[in-house]
Amino acid sequence: MKMTAREAIVFLQHKMNEATIGQEHIVARLIMGLLADGNMLVEGLPGLAKTRVVRSMADAVESTFSRIQFTPDLKPSDVMGEVRKYNENGKTEYKFHEGSIFGNIILADEINRAPAKVQSAMLEAMEEKQVTVAGETHKLPKLFVVMATQNPIEQEGTYPLSEAQKDRFLMHIRIDYVDMDSEFKMVKLILDEKRHEKTEHEKIPQSLIFAARDEVADVNVSEALGRYMIELIFATRYPVRYSRQLGVMIDLGISPRGSLALSQCAKAHAWMKGKKEVELEDIHAIIHDVFRHRLVISEHARMNDRTHDEIVDIILAQVPKPKGLSKES
């Protein structure tokens, strides 16, 4: 497929939007995750095309797709792989058999149904891009992203993700119902797919994904905006310095991993908009998705029905914006 890195990402976005009508926001966020080499957590009610949108990405990219359905009885070896014993010609041999985590695009479906041991094993895979089985470390592919989903309404048989695991996700995206026109088109599309065979199309080579990542890395962040992003992070750690209201709402602020995620996502957003430098609007566009799962809000805030997004809005209002910037969101 002869195209530039930017053309490849535009093609990917087009294909994903074709497959999931009306979900342009989540499509853009998942592509940002791919560009920033980060894992994504997608939360939404059943039937909102969470699985479909991730699969549409795998269909458009030259990749191995693995779907893991997390259940309470799942074992780490089911996901990571295991060492098996073989007796051949009188000799005993031990061979490692890769689990379903050994793919490029991993759909971790209902990840909060996995027990602690499985979630612990996922931490190493998501952060280090490797798994350790029987004392031996096995590297995962260079192109490796986990797109995890969770259902917000079912609590029975679930294991809430630990703060450490949530911090491994670059962004936490919420998916909602589409409008009536989009849902009508989506129903028609799926019914048509069942009647006709799916036609194969050329897939985007992994080399173009890596080339796009290199271009994203080259997007410039001015010192003023770099310091602004760090101050937004520090406002979550020392909220009382900014307002008493924030002080009673936040129990635990955002880690340095969140600082890196904010910068990476702002650069990916700017690049997707065709810019070579991050602007204020790029930071404001993605900050809720980066902060949402990292902020630990207080019992007082929960009792008063304060949401994470509302608290992020207060942080944005309290932290002074850099002076002399021409564009704001």
Asked if residue 327 has pLDDT above 60, the reply is: no
Most confident listed range (12-21, 120-129, 258-267) = 258-267
What is the pLDDT at residue 179? 79
Per-residue CA distances from 217 to 35, 41, 93, 263, 290 (Å): 9, 22, 45, 10, 18
Q: How far is it, in rounded angstroms, from Cα 243 to Cα 247?
A: 6
Please state whether beta strands 105-109 and 65-69 pair in parallel, antiparallel, or not at all (unpaired).
parallel
Q: What does the pLDDT look like over 32-68, one tens digit per residue?
A: 999 999 999 998 877 777 888 899 999 999 999 999 9
**By the 8 A CB rule, do 125 and 101 touch?**
yes
- The residues with which 84 forms a beta bridge, in sequence order, are 95
What is the pLDDT at residue 195? 75
Q: What does the pLDDT look like over 60-85, one tens digit per residue?
A: 999 999 999 998 888 888 899 988 88
Please give the structure tokens belonging to residue 233.
């992070």
Q: Residue 205 — pLDDT band, cuts 50, 70, 90?
A: very high
Q: What does the pLDDT look like over 249-282, one tens digit per residue?
A: 999 999 999 999 999 999 999 999 999 999 999 9
What is the pLDDT at residue 119? 85
What is the pLDDT at residue 326? 47
Asked if residue 228 has pLDDT above 90, the reply is: yes
CA 260 to chain centre: 14
Helix axes 24-35, 206-217, angle to 10 degrees: 80
CA 58 to chain centre: 14
Please give the structure tokens belonging to residue 297.
């809000």
The burial of 5, by beta-carbon neighbours within 10 Å (0-12 exposed, 13-18 middle, 19 or more buried), is given as buried
Phi, psi angle pair for 119, to nearest 5°: -65, -35
Q: How far is it, in rounded angstroms, from Cα 77 to Cα 6?
A: 39
* % of the chain beyond a pLDDT of 90: 54
- Sheet-wide strand order for 145-150: 65-69, 105-109, 145-150, 39-43, 169-174
Asked if residue 104 has pLDDT above 90, the reply is: yes
Asked if residue 312 has pLDDT above 70, the reply is: yes
Q: Residue 197 — pLDDT band, cuts 50, 70, 90?
A: low
Q: What does the pLDDT look like over 127-158, one tens digit per residue?
A: 889 998 888 899 999 999 999 988 776 666 57
The overall average pLDDT reported for the chain is 88
What is the pLDDT at residue 52? 86
Amino acid in the structure at residue 193: E
| Residues in contact with 14: Cβ distance below 8 Å, sequence separation at least 6, in sequence order | none
Per-residue CA distances from 246 to 28, 81, 197, 291, 306 (Å): 30, 45, 55, 15, 11
What is the pLDDT at residue 139? 93
Tokens 């976005």 — which residue? 13
The burial of 204, by beta-carbon neighbours within 10 Å (0-12 exposed, 13-18 middle, 19 or more buried), is given as buried
Across 287-315, average pLDDT: 92
**By the 8 A CB rule, do 172 and 293 touch?**
yes
Q: How far is it, in rounded angstroms, from Cα 34 to Cα 39?
A: 8
Asked if residue 286 has pLDDT above 90, the reply is: yes
Q: How far is it, in rounded angstroms, from Cα 266 to Cα 279?
A: 8
Q: Residue 329 — pLDDT band, cuts 50, 70, 90?
A: very low
Taking the chain, what is the end-to-end CA distance rounded to the nearest angstrom? Answer: 36
